[in-house]
Amino acid sequence: MIQSSPVVQAAVTAAAGSPFGVQVATVLVLLAAGFAYFRALGTKGRVTSKGGR
């Protein structure tokens, strides 16, 4: 089984059985967290090409 972070587990728990507005807010928070994570990962993980090779 894939281990997920406590933040994701808390978000899933909060969204399950909650009103639609809470579910939408949860999705937006998760999307924002994912966007921030991949922005940070992208700035550190990119390899710049040297020359034309």
Asked if the structure places residue 38 within a domain, the reply is: yes
41 within domain boundaries: yes
Q: Which helix (H) or strand (E) covers residue 4, if one does? A: none
Using CB atoms within 10 A of its CB, is residue 32 exposed (0-12), middle (13-18) or buried (19+)? exposed
Write out the residue range of the structural domain in which residue 32 sits: 18-45
Using 50, 70 and 90 to split pLDDT, how confident is the model at 47? low
Q: Label residue 24 by pLDDT band (50, 70, 90).
A: very high
Q: Is residue 27 part of a domain?
A: yes
Q: Report pLDDT for 25.
A: 93
Residue 36 is assigned to a structural domain of this protein: yes
pLDDT digits (tens, 9 = 90+) for 2-21: 566 777 777 777 666 778 99
For residue 40, the model assigns a pLDDT of: 87
Judge whether 30 lies within some domain: yes
Any domain includes 9: no
What's the longest Cα–Cα distance across the chain? Answer: 55
What average pLDDT does range 23-48 have in this prediction? 85
Sequence letter at residue 32:
A
Structurally, the chain folds into a number of domains equal to 1
What number of other Cβ atoms are within 10 A of residue 11's Cβ?
A: 19
* Measured distance CA(32)–CA(8) in Å, rounded: 12
